[in-house]
Structure 1
């Protein structure tokens, strides 16, 4: 697929500078000299350009990097993780400040499928910077900042959930500028986790298979998806997941595009599959509904005029693949 890397969070050319991860001196010097550190609170990056109760303006949202020693970083859980080099070759970092407790938090929103809440650190009153859910703002970030934010969120979430050695249970230490954890007790090394997930554009002529999961926003439908199991190929996972969830048999399978999806640690592998049966049998433990949607009906969905179906979240690979299928650009 020629446009594969135009999907959100895809490579923007970020220089991850892996060779610097072991150069503690260079990284410390960069931080001492005021290198930018992106604060994240419970996975939400600090940004400017988002107002309470308002939709972000196109191109108006930017990541709010701050130097070490800034009050917003006072509750950092561990040392900053190194993200890579910015446009001017400056080192960039990220830090988890979830130890900070905002004065008011709507726990029903934070971490939910639709989190419109903002958290404001008192040190940022003059700037208007706030912590915003990445899925809310992701399409309003530049490609480079979207990649930086996704990297920061995925890496810090892995550290938050992997503080202890899986071999011996001892508390592990951040290592390699955040790209490893090292166990001081048994010497084991642990690396950031990525879970491969297949997401499938299953077609039957001029129809595409859509489904919805329980708990999704009203009317929202998307492509079917599922985790790849141990010992399974991508093609095998596509066929198994579609048959298990919707009872549809799939023949030829091909790869289209991929997307890092740090919610919390997936790599979405976008595939196309050709259905060889069309009778839907929904697994109610997995899906609330599944249906065939014609190309003309999908046009109505994307135009916001369909009475029963709303499209997948803008910015997600499902929206990307459906949009390209609709415009006949899956080449």
Structure 2
């Protein structure tokens, strides 16, 4: 896929550098181990001892997002029915590292990879209560704290559809002929080009790499709030299609409340679009486990 991808790091944070930054600025943590947990598009993540997680931006675009997390996450206590980490440690760049960084309490759990439909259905009500409450966070407060409006222009379905057509060649070999045809047919039959804008406070990047589940497979934690924004609720509601099996979706909307058809169309599109991006990065990194899970998310989103 070439050497210049939108998920490539602009700077790396090694274990040695993370240790120096943390121990120098937070001496009370100096005796604790520092172990890399992984990285996403925007941040490298380290486990400190067994109690804390630190996130270090790996791209310039992530700096403002991290700062926004530091301002907004403490204000969400009364609006989050699922555990999430409130920042406790606010670090600044040093030793040549140019970005701020944050430390949070560690949330136990695993990523929801390889779950059965029965396990996924356990979270229908949990996710509905969570999103109904989160989406009630006052937009005025978000705006006063600098939260931006739909910075990715997600309501423009035509643009998203065009991008997806270009991505298909990068992922085609990882689908069966039947799966690939279903995805292609979905895009060809998608006639809606744009949906009406809505103004709701959003997590902004809700997918299986930003969710944690307990030993039963039930959602127990929500992480990585770097894409907080004000926009269309379909952005978060994509999990109704990517995460929940078809027979659990009615139960979700009974609790969350019914939404209009445009919202469902956009939510399903995003439920396909986000896993495609995750899949492309996983292919670039030869991560078969993530490739398979992303593909399963896409297939689930296309199922009625």
TM-score of the aligned structures, taking structure 2 as reference length: 0.26
Q: Which of the pair has more CA radius of gyration? A: 1
Where is the helix percentage greater, Structure 1 or Structure 2?
2
When normalised by structure 1's length, the TM-score is 0.24
Higher share in strand: 1
